[in-house]
Amino acid sequence: MAIEQQDMMALLSELECRTNFTIKKATEYMLPKLKEPFYLFVDAKQVQLVIRPAYEVFKADFAALDGVSVKDKYCHYSEMTRFPKRVHKSVNGIHYGLAFSFDNADSVKAFINKMVSINQG
């Protein structure tokens, strides 16, 4: 069973992730005590966390976490302004990142902890 948006927001707050802003379908967060952005993205009632595409080298590590599902395709959204752009379905580039969904709270905690360890390593 996937995590609902309100539960995810409460969990990220509990994990000391700081929120910067919310625009339409995306809320920008920062990892605890770090200046590494990620987004809570809600599309068609599905809640996803989106990280920078530079983390693609760690995709298998994230996928190995219990309850974490990696999306096959990049997530594109114009309001993910801290991420790079690429051309997708138009002439102009659009911000994009790697999207993940989660089965439960423990999988979210493991994911955030992995992100923190990668950024502190």
Domains contained in the chain, CATH given: 5-109 (3.90.1150.40)
Name the strand (E) or helix (H) holding 61: helix 59-63
Q: Is the pTM of this model over 0.85?
A: yes
Please name the residues in contact with 15: beta carbons below 8 A apart, sequence gap of 6 or more: 32, 108, 109, 112
Tell me the C-alpha distance between 108 and 100, whole Å. 10
- For residues 35-41, give the mean pLDDT: 96
Tell me the C-alpha distance between 48 and 43, whole Å. 8
Between residues 4 and 14, the one the model is more confident about? 14
- For residues 100-104, give the mean pLDDT: 95
- For residues 47-70, give the mean pLDDT: 96
